[in-house]
Structure 1
Amino acid sequence: MEKRPGLFLSLTIGILTAFGPFLTDFYMPALPEMVEALKTDEAAVQMSLTACMVGLALGQLIIGPLSDKYGRKSLLIGSLALFLVASVFCVVASNITMFNIARVFQGLGGAGGIVLSKSISTDLFTGNALTKFLAVLSMINAVTSLAAPLVGGALLLVMHWQSIFIVCAGIGLMLIVMCAFVPESLPKDKRSDVSVVKSFGGLFKVFESRTFFYSTLVLMTMYFLFFCIVSSSTFILQTTYGMSSTLYAVVFGAGLLVIGFGAALCPRFQSQVRALRTGVLLIAVSAIATVVSLLVLRNVYCIIASYVLVFFSFGMMQTLATTLGLDAGRKRAGSSSATLGACSFIAGAIAPPLISLGGNLESGSCIGIGVSTALALVFVMKLTRLPSVRAGF
């Protein structure tokens, strides 16, 4: 029987799901300033994004399976405490090495919010109801993503880049207080009774489901595509086209808000197959538009418009693939959530260094966008042929 969480629980879960984009988007306007402040180069500062993504991936793989055995709440509060401490170390970092190490631990702490928010959602909902709830969370996520670069850009007008991470620490403290009032969603009688070591075996058992397997691959291609744009857009728009950090924050934040609109469209489809095919078609169109805008038209307005279309399509595909994966791995909600999240962030983590290899961010990001789109088309084709997916909704 599905429960109906109240406004407070929905808001808390929504903020927790936003840890991923919050950790990446909030400080994006500050990247050019950090290059000078930490006396380093663009590639080293971009590695801070990868460092955080690695932490987000590893943290989910650890916390997810453990939550199936020990419950969600205690692990959630503990991970938030780690996030708070790591944020403080980001503030006091005196060089890029120390900063990147702190970012790994910040990701580890933030991972708890991401993986457990999805696990809690799976504890409460199934099927199309889960899709609808995830769409609501995506909208909250999108609003948070919109606010993050705006606040980050505004802070840079009056303060130094460290102020962004002071705010991160404050948000961590606020969430610890909020989560103290969140009820446990996994009763003791429904928890895993296997040993701690065997609990981690759930990370591999979830792949026995072909639906989960292909959903994970689709999600990975989407995150790789998304971070090809996220990691390069700040330098392309600010350095190449002369956009200010404040204007970039407004444009990028508005684009992220569109992710929520894409997610909100998903429950309106009568079948999962039709939704998936529509979403991947939009991905293909937006990818072509982005490549043409960057390499042929070289017009800042066309580039921004193509980014917005990518974000809308990403919102659809991310919600659909996540719903299919969580439903398929419902018996091990913590492990399935951890695997989906970790694989997504691993894909996102390798995007920044790969597109920087050639030294040209525009051409590098276009290659990444093209490859990930082609793979997404193949994986969606495989996914839509599965009986469990064709019977969905």
Structure 2
Amino acid sequence: MSSTDRTPPTILTLILLTGVSILSLNMFVPSLVNIAVDLDADYALVSLSIAGYLAVTAVLQIVIGPLSDRYGRRPVLLGAIVLFTVASLGCLLAETVWVFLFFRLLQGAIVAGGALSRVVVRDMVPPKQAASLLGYIAMAMAVAPMLGPMVGGALDELFGWRSSFLVFALVGIALFGLTWIDLGETNPNPSQTFRSQVRSYPVLLRSRRFWGYAGCMAFSTGAFFAFIAGAPLVATALFQISPGMLGLYVGSITGGFVLGSYGAARFAKDFELETMMLAGRVVACTGLTVGLLLFAAGLEHELALFGCTIFVGLGNGITMPSANVGAMSVRSDLAGTASGLAGALTMAAGAVLTWMAGAVVTEETGAMTLLGLMFATSFLGLLCAWWVRAPDRQASSREAS
């Protein structure tokens, strides 16, 4: 490996790697109907390109992390980008729905961009500084899910649905070149064999701290997924909000996340990881408590609903960078494995909370049920953050005595 291969990447490269991994999820969503018509397939079958993609990325994160611990971050990222580019071309040229779905699921390899960008940051700098950098990356990352469907819809309208996958392929080629030039290997001590690596796993899996960090991540994100699944129904049934205003209101939680991520970027270097996690959870729970009290008092208004849920986004933005870094810091030699496992748990929790919100939030149960579900999930995240902090407090007490 040459000396340039060991050069750490710029933050722009990490932002782009993360952003593309998010864009690949939803940029083509406005084209689902047209894809079904063009490939002569049921819409429900074509929609597996979303649900199946999420399932594949959850599994891949479990695999990608250990591979990066064994072989290094750079080769795994480069390989993932190649697979993504080839898969994008496959979707572009697909003539049947089954070929399209095969290559669409293969596109899930790009999840390595988001998963390993976090690991690369942790490789480069100490934990507090890593949390700060992840805050800046999260701010830019939050823009991707808002812009993706807009860009995809415009491309479909101008050039047809296949144009989105042509853009994916071109972006993949450019991203490969950028990663090859800018992202050197940041894992200084890759494991020698998978056997030696596997022998280290029980230490990670038995770690109270790892499960506390991972649980905080999963429950924090779970509240967001519950909101996305339940808020449109509640807002439409209670307040008859127009689709345009609904989009603005639903997007407000992302605005809160951007603001919270800025707070993490600004202050994470000055506070312990666990303090930032707790602060974010308190912010989220406080906002939801206010919302529950307002609706319990009969003050049902759209601003009461979406005003309090903004605090969930704000709290998540504060919490997530530190929780991510904490999970990866339990065992530095298993940072990739920890990131992948925590990411998979987060996606699994999101899937469960999405299902729960769809099952329990109805026109009859209304806002109180949605806010209650979000509060319960956010409070579980608070308990996980406190659970991580407790061993440190106990250790300090023993040292003082």
| Aligned counterpart for 1:320 among listed residues 299, 315, 322 | 322
| Aligned counterpart for 1:339 among listed residues 338, 341, 352 | 341
AA aligned to 1:173 is I
Aligned to 1:180: 180
Conserved 8 A contact 1:61-1:203 = no
Counterpart-to-counterpart distance in 1, 2:36 and 2:100: 12
Is the aligned partner of 1:374 residue 2:375?
no
**What SS does the corresponding residue of 1:18 show, helix, strand or coil?**
helix
Q: Post-superposition shift, 1:12?
A: 0.9
Aligned to 1:221: 219
Q: How does 1:187-198 map to 2 (within 5 A)?
A: 190-194=189-193, 196-198=194-196
Conserved 8 A contact 1:93-1:99 = yes
**Cα distance change of structure 1 residues 306 and 85 upon mapping to structure 2, 3 Å threshold:** farther
Conserved 8 A contact 1:51-1:349 = no
Counterpart-to-counterpart distance in 1, 2:32 and 2:303: 22
Counterpart-to-counterpart distance in 1, 2:232 and 2:23: 15
Counterpart-to-counterpart distance in 1, 2:165 and 2:50: 14
**What SS does the corresponding residue of 2:314 show, helix, strand or coil?**
helix
**What SS does the corresponding residue of 2:182 show, helix, strand or coil?**
coil
Q: How does 1:222-241 map to 2 (within 5 A)?
A: 222-232=220-230, 241=241
* Superposed CA offset, 1:6-52 (max 9, x none): 8x6211112223355434453566678888886435xx777654322
AA aligned to 1:205 is V
AA aligned to 1:115 is A
Count of aligned pairs between the two proteins: 380
Q: Post-superposition shift, 1:136?
A: 1.8
Counterpart-to-counterpart distance in 2, 1:161 and 1:248: 26
Aligned to 2:116: 116
Task: Calculate percent identity across the aligned residue pairs.
Answer: 20
* Superposed CA offset, 1:203-243 (max 9, x none): 54323332222001111112222222334556777897331
Conserved 8 A contact 2:214-2:327 = yes
**What SS does the corresponding residue of 1:190 show, helix, strand or coil?**
coil
AA aligned to 1:223 is T
Conserved 8 A contact 1:142-1:259 = yes
Aligned to 1:72: 73
Counterpart-to-counterpart distance in 2, 1:173 and 1:389: 51
Deviates more, 1:303-312 or 1:284-293: 284-293
Is the aligned partner of 1:329 residue 2:331?
yes
**Cα distance change of structure 1 residues 201 and 119 upon mapping to structure 2, 3 Å threshold:** farther
Is the aligned partner of 1:15 residue 2:13?
no
Q: Post-superposition shift, 1:265?
A: 1.4
Q: Post-superposition shift, 1:85?
A: 3.2
**Cα distance change of structure 1 residues 61 and 294 upon mapping to structure 2, 3 Å threshold:** farther
Counterpart-to-counterpart distance in 2, 1:316 and 1:281: 10
**What SS does the corresponding residue of 1:356 show, helix, strand or coil?**
helix
Structure exhibiting the larger radius of gyration computed from Cα positions:
2
Counterpart-to-counterpart distance in 2, 1:145 and 1:390: 42
RMSD between superposed Cα atoms in Å: 4.0
Counterpart-to-counterpart distance in 1, 2:94 and 2:229: 22
Q: Which consecutive residues of structure 1, in runs of 5 or more, have no partner in the other structure?
A: none
Aligned to 1:26: 27
Counterpart-to-counterpart distance in 2, 1:237 and 1:90: 36
**What SS does the corresponding residue of 1:64 show, helix, strand or coil?**
helix
Aligned to 1:40: 43
Query: Please, what TM-score do these two structures have when normalized by structure 2?
Result: 0.77
Conserved 8 A contact 1:148-1:253 = no
Query: Please, what TM-score do these two structures have when normalized by structure 1?
Result: 0.79
Q: Post-superposition shift, 1:279?
A: 1.1
**Cα distance change of structure 1 residues 89 and 193 upon mapping to structure 2, 3 Å threshold:** same
Q: Post-superposition shift, 1:93?
A: 6.5
Counterpart-to-counterpart distance in 1, 2:290 and 2:46: 28
Conserved 8 A contact 2:7-2:182 = no
**Cα distance change of structure 1 residues 203 and 89 upon mapping to structure 2, 3 Å threshold:** farther
Conserved 8 A contact 2:274-2:322 = no
Counterpart-to-counterpart distance in 2, 1:203 and 1:345: 21
Q: Post-superposition shift, 1:185?
A: 2.5
